């Protein structure tokens, strides 16, 4: 059943009273820059709190009255509350995976005796429902010890990136005694998941000094007090890699690696055989890395010394794959912008590296995982994944193909050097994550799908929600003549265009946009809308050069690419400007903000979500300084004019007819602080003319998106879909489309 296309049906929008504008003009490297809403950067300012409350009340009234909001809420709720489970991880002969029986606000961690046991047949080890009454405490990281007897967990509260780490003992098979935590608690941690040392006596983690005004208190199951506002906004200092020995107080933990400068971070890799510790380091969010090795065990007296220098120049990206004796296997872009696999002798790291897998002429080597006498390689071909098995010398053994229709992306590979089983998690635009088991003793046999829930077909869950969807791969021509690929999806049998269309993009930080199931996208297509997903420069789809072509002073190319995709959709008749909505999150929120301010006539609706919208002050808050490797430094006289030219906040002009805009953020977002959205919405409401609404939607006890409970995600998606549908003329069918209940 197809949907009808109606003229936009807009409920009454009443713009809140204008926010106070202050006379604040700064001279930045010779550029006078006004900042009339600087006060909105302080969440404790009573004016900020009043502004947010007023905006929230207006948004709630408007969004609740949107046509078809109830339809979209039912659709996304049905999708979000179906059973689901992650890809199994084997430790100590038992199988660990995250799972949700359906309807729970947060996923739990379970252990089963066999990989083909459905999650409900196993033992629940960690259930975040026990942590908070409102569902906003989330399990955001786990690390199972080598023997499978312990699991380190990470908890986040109210969407904050701050985490508390604890350690739980895993009951033996048949032991029905309650699961118990050890006394260990690690607070003020971020980013790096806990990493076990081989003997399980200690773990490595990344920690920061307690933020000013915190009193040193953390957030955890025994202390559910909220973090202070300064911990959510203040510019963050340098962190360190520390070692925590079980049974000791965190105050006794020792620093192992101190960064050479504040913006450096490190990713540790521990050799399971207990011989080597590898540290891959980079400044900020730079994809390029250095690599150094240290002999284990970790010294008892503090800092690591006498590193074995593997890579000292910050010129290329490197990822540790495995250690075999004194041989390190690296995925490297040195001499291969699309990646290759090499072996490095750690006893002579300056010697020429031995190439195991050469750079492919067109495909990108995404990852490599060791499995028994082999490596599981994931390749990216035109922004979709394929999986190959090669022996330890790099010779082809087999293609590992999952029976999922259409292009897919690999979410997880779980394999062990001594094991015969390989588990691959995949997703696509039309199928949610499913896990598949391959047997290395018989790789020619089709893989077995791992069950998500008991009863029904193996693996039943959210996986096949859009079986009647047509996906078309096409490309647009950007301003400089570059071909920009995009995928266009619509329901089979839908009327020809122009149709209401949602265009999504990201374009930054070497992050690829791949075939991936999204509840928001699925509900839009099921309602009769067209979805277009763009592969913009700045992303990681096509190798290092594609990323470099859209970063730093070349960032405008990303916006040009997105504009070209929008224009392509119009010129090919898929949609028109009155039926087009733009959507992006985080760096994608910057993308939407930049394009809607440069080309306001291009679309009918814009949805910048948790966006980086003030390009002159992003580095002043929390971890924002880490992004200067991608965007440039506003304090640099050569970078500032480039940033000023496209900064969405500073591109707004009074008297302009901007598209209907829904600006979304969370009050606990300590990655892209909500002041970006507050200031942009206030300035946009000041500048915009015409009837199009400018709505600021603020989630409470929510952050950048990590750990957001199901019920809150459902409301967010319903609001965004109803807003985009209202302003592009999308009218869903009376009954939801295939696989979407409502």
Q: What is the 3-state secondary structure (H, E, C) of 673-713?
A: CCHHHHHHHHHHHHHECCCCCEEEEEECCCCCCCCCCHHHH
d(CA 727, CA 662): 11
The fraction of the chain above a pLDDT of 90, given in percent, is 82
Say what the pLDDT of residue 736 is: 45
DSSP string of 465-522?
S-SSEEEEEEEEE-TTS-EEEEEEEEETTPPPSS--EEEE----TT----S---HHHH
CA distances in angstroms from 406 to 18, 362, 474, 496, listed in the order given: 49, 20, 15, 22
Say what the pLDDT of residue 349 is: 87
- Look at the block and give the residue holding tokens 């955001």: 140
Q: Report the relative pairing of strands 308-311 and 318-324 from DSSP bridges.
A: unpaired
- Could you tell me the sign of the dihedral formed by the alpha carbons of 730, 731, 733, 737, in that order? positive
Q: Is 547 a catalytic residue?
A: no
d(CA 353, CA 640): 41
Say what the pLDDT of residue 225 is: 42
Q: What tokens does 305 get?
A: 């010394």
Contact 236, 161 (CB under 8 A): no
Radius of gyration (C-alpha) of the chain in whole angstroms: 25
Catalytic residue, from 478, 586, 647, 677: name it: 586
Closest CA to 691 of 10, 99, 61: 10
d(CA 191, CA 717): 26
CA distances in angstroms from 658 to 88, 388, 682, listed in the order given: 48, 48, 14
Say whether the peptide bond before residue 37 is cis (omega within 30 degrees of 0): no
Mean pLDDT of the chain: 92
d(CA 592, CA 606): 7
Closest CA to 131 of 665, 709, 713: 709
Say what the pLDDT of residue 701 is: 84
Say what the pLDDT of residue 467 is: 60
Torsion of CA 574, 555, 682, 670, to 10 degrees: 110
Say what the pLDDT of residue 496 is: 82
Closest CA to 2 of 738, 742, 739: 738
The DSSP call for residue 651 is H
Say what the pLDDT of residue 734 is: 64
d(CA 228, CA 16): 28
d(CA 313, CA 76): 47
Closest CA to 87 of 437, 333, 408, 346: 437
d(CA 702, CA 720): 16
Contact 120, 454 (CB under 8 A): yes
Q: What tokens does 381 get?
A: 């071909």
Say what the pLDDT of residue 681 is: 98
Burial of 446 (0-12, 13-18, 19+ CB in 10 A): exposed
The DSSP call for residue 351 is S
Burial of 671 (0-12, 13-18, 19+ CB in 10 A): buried
Q: Which residues contact 30 (CB under 8 A, 6 or more apart)?
A: none
Question: What region does 425 belong to: left with phi over 0, alpha with psi -120 to 50, or beta?
Answer: beta
Q: What tokens does 9 get?
A: 């049906």
The CATH architecture assigned to 51-78+465-731 reads 3-Layer(aba) Sandwich (3.40)
Closest CA to 623 of 210, 244, 162: 162
Say what the pLDDT of residue 741 is: 33
Contact 390, 375 (CB under 8 A): yes
d(CA 729, CA 608): 20
Q: Is 3 a catalytic residue?
A: no
Residue numbers in the chain where pLDDT is lower than 70 = 1-9, 213-227, 454-467, 734-742
Closest CA to 15 of 727, 687, 725, 722: 687
Contact 535, 484 (CB under 8 A): yes
Say what the pLDDT of residue 466 is: 66
Tallying the residues shown for the chain, one arrives at 742
Say what the pLDDT of residue 7 is: 54
Say what the pLDDT of residue 9 is: 61
Secondary structure class of 527 (helix, strand, coil): coil
The DSSP call for residue 655 is T
* Residue 18 dihedral angles phi and psi, to the nearest 5°: -60, 140
- Could you tell me the sign of the dihedral formed by the alpha carbons of 648, 649, 651, 657, in that order? positive
Say what the pLDDT of residue 493 is: 79
Angle between helices 519-526 and 69-80 (to 10 degrees): 130
């Amino acid at each position: 059943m197809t949907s009808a296309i109606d003229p936009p049906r807009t409920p009454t929008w009443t713009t809140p009273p204008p926010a106070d504008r202050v006379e604040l003009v700064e001279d930045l490297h010779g550029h006078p820059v006004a900042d009339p809403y600087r006060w909105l950067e302080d969440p404790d300012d009573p004016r900020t709190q009043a502004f947010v409350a007023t905006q929230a009340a207006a948004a709630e009234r408007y969004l609740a009255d949107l046509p078809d909001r109830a339809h979209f809420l039912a659709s996304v709720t049905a999708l979000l509350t179906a059973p689901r489970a992650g890809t199994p991880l084997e430790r100590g002969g038992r199988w660990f995976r995250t799972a949700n029986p359906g309807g729970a606000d947060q996923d739990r961690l379970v252990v089963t005796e066999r990989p083909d046991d459905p999650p409900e047949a196993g033992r629940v080890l960690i259930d975040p429902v026990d942590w908070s009454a409102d569902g906003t405490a989330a399990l955001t990281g786990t690390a199972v010890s080598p023997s499978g007897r312990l699991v380190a967990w990470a908890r986040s509260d109210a969407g904050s990136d701050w985490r508390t780490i604890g350690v739980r003992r895993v009951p033996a098979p048949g032991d029905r005694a309650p699961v118990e935590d050890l006394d260990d608690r690690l607070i003020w941690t971020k980013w790096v998941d806990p990493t076990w040392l081989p003997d399980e006596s200690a773990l490595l983690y990344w920690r920061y000094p307690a933020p000013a005004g915190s009193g040193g208190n953390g957030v955890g199951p025994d202390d559910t007090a909220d973090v202070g506002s300064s911990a959510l906004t203040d510019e963050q200092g340098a962190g360190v890699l520390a070692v925590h020995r079980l049974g000791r107080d965190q105050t006794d933990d020792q620093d192992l690696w101190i960064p050479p400068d504040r913006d450096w971070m490190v990713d540790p890799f521990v050799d399971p055989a207990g011989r080597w510790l590898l540290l891959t380091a980079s400044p900020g969010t730079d994809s390029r890395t250095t690599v150094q090795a240290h002999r284990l065990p970790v010294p008892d007296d503090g800092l690591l010394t006498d590193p074995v220098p593997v890579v000292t120049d910050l010129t290329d990206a490197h990822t540790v794959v495995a250690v075999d004796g004194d041989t390190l296997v690296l995925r490297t872009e040195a001499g291969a912008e699309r990646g290759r696999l090499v072996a490095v002798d750690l006893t002579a790291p300056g010697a020429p590296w031995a190439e195991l897998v050469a750079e492919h002429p067109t495909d990108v080597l995404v990852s490599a995982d060791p499995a028994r006498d082999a490596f599981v390689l994931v390749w990216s071909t035109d922004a979709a994944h394929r999986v190959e098995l090669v022996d330890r010398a790099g010779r082809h053994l087999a293609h590992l193909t999952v029976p999922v229709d259409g292009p897919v992306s690999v979410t997880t590979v779980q394999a062990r050097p001594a094991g015969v089983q390989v588990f691959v998690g995949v997703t696509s635009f039309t199928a949610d994550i499913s896990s598949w088991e391959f047997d290395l003793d018989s790789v020619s046999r089709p893989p077995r799908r791992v069950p998500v829930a008991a009863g029904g077909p193996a693996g039943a869950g959210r996986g096949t929600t859009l079986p009647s969807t047509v996906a078309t791969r096409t490309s647009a021509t950007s301003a400089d003549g570059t071909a920009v690929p995009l995928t266009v999806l619509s329901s089979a049998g839908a009327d020809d265009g122009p149709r209401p269309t949602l265009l999504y993009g990201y374009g930054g930080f070497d992050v690829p946009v791949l075939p991936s199931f999204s509840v928001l996208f699925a509900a839009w297509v099921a309602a009769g809308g067209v979805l277009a997903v763009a592969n913009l420069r700045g992303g990681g789809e096509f190798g290092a050069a594609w990323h470099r072509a859209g970063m730093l002073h070349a960032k405008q190319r990303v916006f040009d690419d997105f504009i070209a995709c929008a224009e392509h959709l119009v010129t090919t008749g898929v949609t028109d400007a009155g039926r087009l909505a733009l959507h992006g999150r985080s760096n994608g929120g910057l993308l939407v903000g930049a394009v809607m301010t440069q080309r306001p006539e291009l679309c009918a609706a814009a949805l910048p979500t948790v966006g980086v919208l003030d390009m002159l002050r992003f580095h002043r808050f929390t971890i924002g300084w880490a992004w200067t490797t991608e965007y440039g430094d506003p304090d640099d006289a050569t970078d500032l004019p480039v940033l000023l030219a496209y900064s969405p906040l500073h591109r707004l002009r009074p008297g302009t007819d901007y598209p209907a805009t829904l600006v979304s953020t969370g009050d606990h977002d300590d990655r892209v602080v909500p002041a970006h959205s507050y200031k942009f919405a206030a300035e946009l409401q000041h500048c915009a003319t015409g009837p199009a609404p400018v709505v600021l939607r603020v989630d409470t006890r929510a952050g950048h998106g990590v750990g957001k409970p199901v019920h809150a995600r459902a409301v967010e998606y319903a609001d965004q879909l109803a807003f985009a549908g209202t302003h592009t003329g999308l009218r869903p069918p009376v009954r939801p489309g295939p696989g979407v209940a409502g």
